[in-house]
Structure 1
Amino acid sequence: MYERILVPTDGSETAELAVEHAIDLAEQYGADVHTLYVVDTDSMSLSLGAEQVDRIEQGHYDEMDEVRDRADRATSYVADRAAERGLEVVEYVSAGKPHSQIATYVEDNGIDLVVMGSHGRSGVKRALLGSVTERTLRSTHVPVLVVEADESD
């Protein structure tokens, strides 16, 4: 049923909850696991400036130790958890708008299922903060399993 499962991650606890679900499904279906960290250039543009964001979008985020380390930690977490279960993971880092990068990765890599976390915000909180998960649901044409974190945790 599923041959390639994508777990987008930002390294948060919410994303880590989704990792466990993705690994369980990959094990059950014999699927490959992919993990994607997106350097969110929209959120960085205010603090870094346009020139630095342009460099990041062109793939030069390796020069920025903090960004590279955050991406490596997030994708390595997925790879390490999968390795404990005998699964290998394709790790990938890109830059841009997260939902758009996720949709592009899905198309380019023949992903069958996306498993991602969500904070479960509603109403004003979601309107103010936006939702990568919600935008991903609207941007892809494959099933998206949303693992919701409890805001009170």
Structure 2
Amino acid sequence: MSDYKHILLAIDLSDDSPLVCQRAQSLAKLYNAKVSIIHVVEPLSFTYGSDIPLDFSSLQDELLLQSKNQLLSMAKTIGVDEDDCHLVLGRPETEIHKLGIEVGSDLVVVGSHGRHGLALIFGSTANGVLHGACCDVLAVRVKDGN
């Protein structure tokens, strides 16, 4: 196995994100690898569907602004440049795969809650990233909020 050269860190900005960041940072130091970070915001229309005739644009803009501030703050704590931070609107699995290819990552680090039951059947972001990735994926086990 060759050393990792470019790690893509996918975070959800939850309370567990610092642990996932720490794992990626440790690997980056070990392999002297570059780190890029992605956070994907799902459009509110995905969540609430088109059944609700409301304009979510200002709420979506505020969510993106808050997410950007949190993303940059986390990046700063692990020494990742702002140019290597990516805030994207879309489906997490799809956008993580796309950016991974664009930046040439050879490892994706993502948190995993170890879901069970219906959550497992319907899938998770970590599972979606794992099954569509063109490189290695490290799923960092984090505590489940329930």
1:69 corresponds to: 66
Deviation (angstroms), 1:81:
2.0
* 3-state SS of paired residue (2:16): helix
Following the alignment from structure 2 to structure 1, what is the Cα–Cα distance between the partners of residues 116 and 107? 24
Root-mean-square deviation over aligned CA pairs: 2.8
Aligned to 2:131: 138
Q: Greater shift after overlay, 107-116 or 88-97?
A: 88-97
Aligned equivalents of 1:49 and 1:2: distance in 2? 47
| Residue aligning to 2:16 | 14
When the two structures are superposed, what TM-score results if normalisation uses the length of structure 1? 0.78
Instruction: Point out the more displaced range, 140-149 or 38-47.
Output: 38-47
Query: What is the one-letter code of the residue matched to 1:76?
Result: L
Judged with a 3 Å threshold, the aligned counterparts in structure 2 of structure 1 residues 65 and 107 are, in CA distance, closer, same or farther, namely same
Q: Which has the higher helix share?
A: 1
| Structure 2 unaligned blocks of 5 or more | none
Q: Which runs of 4+ in 1 moved over 6 A?
A: none
Contact 1:40 1:98 in 2 (8 A): yes
Name the structure 2 match of 1:28.
30
Provide Cα deviations, 1:96-138, integer angstroms capped at 9, x if missing partner.
110000000011110110111011112223235x301101111
- Give the equivalent residue in structure 2 for 1:78: 74
Task: Give the whole-Å Cα distance in 1 for the aligned partners of 2:113 and 2:15.
Answer: 10
1:26-57 CA-to-partner distances (Å, cap 9, x unmatched) read: 1111111110111112226469868757x9xx
Instruction: Please show how residues 32-111 of structure 1 align to structure 2 within 5 Å.
Output: 32-41=34-43, 42-43=46-47, 45=49, 52=56, 64-73=61-70, 75-83=71-79, 88=81, 90-111=84-105
**1:77 Cα deviation from its structure 2 partner:** 3.5
Q: Do the aligned partners of 1:35 and 1:78 also contact (CA within 8 Å) in 2? A: no
Q: Counterpart of 2:143?
A: 150
Question: Who is 1:58 aligned against?
Answer: none
TM-score (norm 2): 0.81
Q: Report the CA distance between 1:139 and its aligned residue.
A: 1.3
1:126 aligns with 2:130: no
| Residues in 2 aligned to 1:152 and 1:10: alpha-carbon distance in whole angstroms | 14
Q: In terms of mean alpha carbon deviation, does 89-98 or 36-45 score higher?
A: 36-45
**C-alpha separation between the residues in 2 aligned to 1:152 and 1:78?**
21
The AA in structure 1 aligned to 2:47 is S
Unpaired runs of at least 5, structure 1: 56-60
- Give 2:23's aligned amino acid: H
